[in-house]
A and B are shown apart, each in its own frame.
Chain A
């Protein structure tokens, strides 16, 4: 009953949630391609490459939380920091692998 009461007083508006999720999604798609370019140029191989992706992703989520959400992501997302970190990681991974492979081949055999 308490959670319902909470929801009554501070309702979760569907359009706002959608807009916030879309913002993160857009940023993450762009980010994955650019990170792939960076990894390919640096010449990273298997494990190092994946770790690079996750670490840089987390770093950018941190930046998003601080600058875009004003340091308080709980007000913008129901899951707080976890939502910022983990939304759309797998889709981003595909884009990352694509540009990573391309630039690894382009830069040096």
Chain B
């Protein structure tokens, strides 16, 4: 039964208008809906009190000094470094000075941590629910026939997955059912969403999954589970080391400028 030029099935062109286009339109619309729903569902960030903010920002000040210290002269950097190191070691910026030496706060009980976790959970729900709904809808209405021909061949193992509901032995794997059109849309509409909704849209499934896999990159530095005093002491040591390796950027600037001219 194998024909060398591949199997052809004559299809009614009305199939396209009634099946392919509606599925795509529905997926695009749910994507946009999900994006705006995620934005609306996010709770406003909690206002932190003055001491907490001061604690956070002074640590950042130390980090900035270390990173950009080469842009200021050695005297300026050393005097800044001395001041900051002395402040860190005396614990002048800590939020609760009497909590030094106690174990870090449990994320389950700290209210700031709960906020972050709730946001993540809401994001996940907003992603999973529409996908499940659409898959159920497609299985209910669009099952039992093949609709589309894939441009490239696949192995036999994909047959059961892509041709769900049509169990024939000889039909080419290139003929697929509408569920696989759903999957194609799922992966392939990402560029369209990026184009319509701007760059960091919530309808983008893969970037969300990647964000979940590196939680350290987006987590708050002073979130639950960190001990501020230890971080200050570590930063003080880093500053000492950085001051020893200072290389002023403007040294040799006269030669460089003469070379440009």
State the A residues within 8 Å of B (CB): 4-5, 8-9, 22, 25-26, 28-30, 32-33, 39-40, 44-47, 49-50, 91-92, 94-102, 104-106, 109
Apart from A92-B191, A101-B150: 17 A-B pairs, beta carbons within 8 A = A8-B249, A28-B191, A29-B191, A30-B195, A45-B152, A46-B151, A46-B152, A50-B152, A91-B206, A95-B188, A95-B189, A97-B151, A98-B187, A98-B188, A101-B184, A105-B16, A109-B10
**Interchain pairs with CB closer than 8 A, number:** 80
Q: How far in angstroms is the closest Cβ of chain A from B150?
A: 6
| Residue in contact with B184 in the complex, picked from A8, A49, A98, A109, CB distance below 8 Å | A98
Query: Are B11 and A109 interface neighbours, CB within 8 A?
Result: yes
Task: Specify the main secondary structure of chain A where it touches its partner.
Answer: helix
State the B residues within 8 Å of A (CB): 8-11, 16, 20, 24, 70, 148-153, 181, 184-185, 187-192, 194-195, 199, 206, 247, 249, 256
Q: State the CA gap A9–B206 with chains docked (Å).
A: 37
Query: Are A30 and B191 interface neighbours, CB within 8 A?
Result: yes
Q: State the CA gap A38–B20 with chains docked (Å).
A: 19
A/B interface sample: 14 pairs, CB < 8 A: A8-B247, A29-B191, A33-B191, A33-B192, A45-B151, A91-B190, A92-B191, A94-B187, A95-B189, A97-B188, A98-B188, A98-B189, A102-B20, A105-B20
Please indicate the chain A residues that have their CB under 8 angstroms from the CB of B20 in the complex. 102, 105
Chain B: which residue is nearest A50 at the CB level?
B152
Q: State the CA gap A90–B145 with chains docked (Å).
A: 30
Q: State the CA gap A33–B10 with chains docked (Å).
A: 27
Q: How far in angstroms is the closest Cβ of chain A from B145?
A: 14
